[in-house]
Structure 1
Amino acid sequence: MRRLAIACALSLAALAAAPAANASVLIDPDTRQPMSALPFTAPREAARAPAIPREVVAFSGAYAPGTVVVNTSERRLYFVLGNGQAVRYGVGVGRPGFDWAGTQTISRKQEWPDWRPPVQMLQRRPDLPRFMAGGPDNPLGARAMYLGSSLYRIHGSNEPHTIGQAVSSGCIRMLNEDVVDLYNRVRVGTRVVVLR
């Protein structure tokens, strides 16, 4: 009886882990890895613990409250609260050759943004779609904050395994639940400082 129970449990676990036969698999444009097609609010995604938890931490620096500071070597983004504190988030950053530093401002905010790969990315990856409508399958995730007139954004991602990694073409990636939190805290005109 005990063997039968163990065999049933293992069979159920294998079925739960197996992908659906009709599930479409999208490929991440930067990492060329399969992307989850589930929206960030799906139970399976919500049940996963974030790779790097969002938390309020001690923060020192000469930045005004409301400033966003991205430390690419730490792979962390800080939203400065003031009084020596900031909200810290884990982020994915530009891979070698695509990392950058500087100061920008948030020039636009968008919920469930459409994605049009820039010309430079299409030259590297001509197989990419020219347009992808916003939604849970979109590589920009749930929210995007555009940085000045640059090609870069702070945006969501449905691939939590890329957070804490140097994998993008220069954009700052966040978990969808974290990018929604940051999106609600910032406004157009917010200063963004990216450090190496």
Structure 2
Amino acid sequence: MPIHRRSLLLGAPFLLAGCTTARRQEPTPVARSLAYAPSYETMYAALDGEPYPVPAVDLSQIDPRFLRREVAYATREEPGTIVVDVEARYAYLVMENGRALRYGVGVGKEEGFNFRGAATIARKAEWPRWTPTPDMIRREPERYAKYAGGLPGGPGNPLGPRALYLYRDGRDTLYRLHGTIEPWTIGTMVSSGCIRLLNQDIIDLYRRVPAGSRAVVLSSAGTAA
């Protein structure tokens, strides 16, 4: 599915980053007319071999267009680059010959919360520790102050089983691509700025992307860079 490249805005404020949902949203089952291939039952089955449970995804809660698939993708970015299209709610791992692996994502609940531009995956972590940013604590101290020292990785951690850390010019932007404990939010504007994927998808992407890889988060302006 070819798409046009979006323009890059390089001045996004770092301190709006965060990785949690503003308020808990109850899952809404997807209409059964939006059928998914039987192979997705296997792709999104529970995973063994992890230190904590990774349950199967309830596919009735996910719009099928946000499930992982290989697609045609026109871009000037080199293979191995991650391209996040915030407006479309997709992350693409660029492949050879005009192809890409496409993952559905959840993005920032407000336009200003989303990182824009180019970055480097300077760090990767399995079952990462989560710490709210100072800005999150200032905005909602009643929710986040108790986690100022960080929350260890585990089933209740909002980063899920994997995280890819975005750096620019050697500096942590405080934005990540990570898993989620709220799979039904994929395809929505929901987070405090980070890019969330289904847990099975972030584990798949984590395996494919080495540290040092390039990541590009596109703007929603719809114009070429």
Corresponding letter in the other structure for 1:139: P
Listed as ranges, the matches of 1:114-193 within 5 Å are: 114-127=129-142, 128=144, 129-130=147-148, 131-148=150-167, 149-193=172-216
* RMSD (CA atoms): 2.1
TM-score (norm 2): 0.69
Q: Secondary structure at the match of 1:151?
A: strand
TM-score (norm 1): 0.78
Corresponding letter in the other structure for 1:74: A
Q: Secondary structure at the match of 2:121?
A: strand
Listed as ranges, the matches of 1:9-88 within 5 Å are: 29-33=20-24, 41=47, 45-46=55-56, 48-49=58-59, 50-51=62-63, 52-88=66-102
Q: 1-side partners of 2:79 and 2:114: how far apart?
A: 25
Aligned residues: 165
* Greater relative contact order (CA < 8 Å, ≥ 6 in sequence): 2
Deviations 1:14-67 (A, max 9, x none): xxxxxxxxxxxxxx943221799xxx6468x41512442100000111111100
Q: 2-side partners of 1:143 and 1:100: how far apart?
A: 19
What is the CA-CA distance between 1:167 and the residue it aligns to? 1.1
Q: Secondary structure at the match of 2:174?
A: coil
Q: 1-side partners of 2:192 and 2:57: how far apart?
A: 29
Which structure has the larger Rg? 1
Return 5+ residue gaps in structure 1 as ranges: 1-27
Q: 2-side partners of 1:83 and 1:186: how far apart?
A: 18
Q: 2-side partners of 1:48 and 1:195: how far apart?
A: 29
Tell whether the 8 Å contact from 1:35 to 1:159 is kept in structure 2 after alignment: no
**Matched residue, 2:105:** 91
Identity %: 48
Tell whether the 8 Å contact from 2:20 to 2:192 is kept in structure 1 after alignment: no
Tell whether the 8 Å contact from 2:22 to 2:192 is kept in structure 1 after alignment: no
**Matched residue, 1:111:** 126
Q: Secondary structure at the match of 2:141?
A: coil
- CA gap of 1:186–1:98, structure 2 versus 1, over 3 A, is same
Structure with a larger share of its residues in strand: 1
Return 5+ residue gaps in structure 2 as ranges: 1-18, 28-45, 48-52, 220-225
